[in-house]
Every structure is written in structure tokens, then in C-alpha cells.
Structure 1
Amino acid sequence: MKKILIMGIALIATGSVVAQDLKSKDVPQVVKTALMSKYPEAAKVSWEKEKGNYEANWGGKSGEDNSVVFTPAGAFVEIVKAIPISELPKNIAPYIAAKYKGAKIKEAGKVTDAAGKTMFEAEIKGGDLIFDEKGNFIKKD
């Protein structure tokens, strides 16, 4: 019991936030309208709330080939489109091998933000690594 309490306090203290699954009825209409306006092809959408924003996921076998983030006011933040790991810039895999010993890339995505800037995301155990369009490391998310 002590371990669980300590782990809970540590989680709160570090500010770690886990995505919260939402039902469509719990998503503001302005956000759903923004999604359908920008991505009318979105179907069978699942919703999450993460870091105060709303994330819509749809497409593919896992239902997450497209992941779009909107603010509570409906402003577009970014879209992440799933891509084969082989389509990541060639210097990403060697970087991960050197900096994250034994880590394997589980999933990859091409990120486009509201300004049109392109980045790449490589998911490994422990988080997402973000790289610029040339494959240079930016941050761990």
C-alpha cells in the first residue's frame, strides 16, 4: 500500500499526465466542427484529452493512422500521420541506437503543425522522440 501511495504522489509531483479517453458527447461542439471542417474524411473517430487539448484519432487497423490535436476553442494544433518506420529520415534510427541503448522504434509519424512545419515522431518505450524535417533531434515528448 505504501508503494502505491508513494508512486501516486510521485506521479502527481512530476506533473505526468496520461491521456484521458473521451466519449464524443464530452468533446466541445466547436472542436468536433473544426475536425469535420478540416478533415471531412474522418470517420469512426475516437477522442482523447491530453494536456488540456482534444485529440481525434481515426483510420487504419489501429484506428490511429491520423491523430489531430485541437485546442478547446477549436484551433488546429497539429496532425500526426502514421508512416512506415522505413520512411523516417535515415539518421533517426542511428541516433536512437546511440542515445537510447536497446530501444526499438514501435511506431513512426509525420507531424505537421498549424504553421505548416513538418517534423517526425518516433515512438519508443518511454515516450515519443521528435525530430525536424532533416531528422535532427528536437525533444523527447
Structure 2
Amino acid sequence: MKSLKCIVLAFLPLSFISCASTIAQQEIPSVVINAVMTKYPNAKDLEWEVKNGIYEAEFDLDKNDYEVWVNTQGTILKVEEEIRNDQIPAVILAKVKAEFKDYKLDDSKRIEIGKSIYYEIEIDGALGDQKVVYSEKGEKQDPFVLTKIGK
């Protein structure tokens, strides 16, 4: 049992290593930086990562957290913005409250992928937390739709 604990403790730090790597802004193509700064000129506390040739900028803007994915040509592929629950469109909010009566709304995001807009809503309940995704028209979506950037 003691050796199992040693093995687990030895490999635990590896579980926290991300597949994406944080990089300095100087290492990012100017077309990528310009794409983000043109759309979000007041972005603060930018942090950059790159994975499989896709750059991810994380920053704060107007007290909201953003994540923006950009390809090497400077095309913005995906934008995630944390939003307050009162910013969820009424049609979506009504559907969530009707379908998940015994759940409490937690974190919410507005997500743009190409020309499509989605809302990801985390709900907390007695059976645990879950995330639900809706199109901007209020149609429930498979959460997998949020992973289809650059396709």
C-alpha cells in the first residue's frame, strides 16, 4: 500500500501539466495578436497558450473573463465570454428553469463559434453539477458542438 501511495504521489504533478503550453507574447505571430487586439482593444492581463497551431488568448474585459481561439492566419475561431445569469436570453432561461426546476444556475458562458452563438450553463442540483448548451434560439444542443472549432 505504501508503494502505491509513492507511485501516485510521484505521478501526481504530471496530471496538472496541460497539453497546451503557455508562451510569451513575443513568440506569437503579429497577425494573431492583431486579431485579438482589434476586436478587444481594452483586453487586460492577456495570457497566451498554443496547442496544435491554435492560439488561445485569455484575458479580462469589463470584469468578464474571455478566452479567444485564433488560427495562424489571424482568424478568430471561437470566443468564450463568462456572463452573468441575467445576461442569458429569456427564451433560454425559461427553458432551463422549466427543465431543471430543482437545479440552481451557476456559471454561464456565451460562446461564438464562427457565426453561431451558444450559451453554456452550469447547473447545480442534488444529483451533482452538469452543463447544458443551447443555441441562441433556445434549442438544446449536444455539448460536443462546442468542441468543433476550426472544422
TM-score bucket (shorter structure): 0.5 to 0.7
Query: Shift in Å at residue 45 of structure 1?
Result: 0.7
The alignment's TM-score, normalised by the length of structure 2, stands at 0.59
Correspondence 1:92 to 2:91: no
* 1:45 alignment partner, SS class: strand
- Which structure features the higher share of strand residues? 2
Query: Shift in Å at residue 38 of structure 1?
Result: 2.1
- In structure 2, what is the equivalent of residue 119 of structure 1? 118
- In structure 1, what is the equivalent of residue 41 of structure 2? 40
- Trace 1:10-89 onto structure 2 (pairs within 5 A): 20-23=20-23, 24-50=25-51, 52-59=53-60, 65-88=65-88, 89=92
Correspondence 1:130 to 2:133: yes
Kindly indicate whether the alpha-carbon contact (under 8 Å) linking 1:45 and 1:57 is maintained by their aligned counterparts in 2: yes
Query: Shift in Å at residue 84 of structure 1?
Result: 1.1
- Provide the rounded CA distance (Å) in 2 between the counterparts of 1:81 and 1:26: 25
| Identical positions, percent | 21
Q: Which has the larger radius of gyration?
A: 2
- In structure 2, what is the equivalent of residue 10 of structure 1? none
Query: Shift in Å at residue 127 of structure 1?
Result: 7.6
* 1:46 alignment partner, SS class: strand
1:59-103 superposed Cα distances (whole Å, 9 cap, x missing partner): 169x862222211221111322221124332213544x48xxx97
- In structure 1, what is the equivalent of residue 149 of structure 2? none
The alignment's TM-score, normalised by the length of structure 1, stands at 0.62
* Change beyond 3 A, Cα 1:135–1:84: same
Aligned-CA RMSD value: 3.7
Query: Shift in Å at residue 114 of structure 1?
Result: 3.1
User: Gaps (5+ residues) in structure 2?
Assistant: 9-17, 145-151
User: Gaps (5+ residues) in structure 1?
Assistant: 5-17
- Provide the rounded CA distance (Å) in 1 between the counterparts of 2:56 and 2:120: 16
Q: How many residues are aligned here?
A: 126
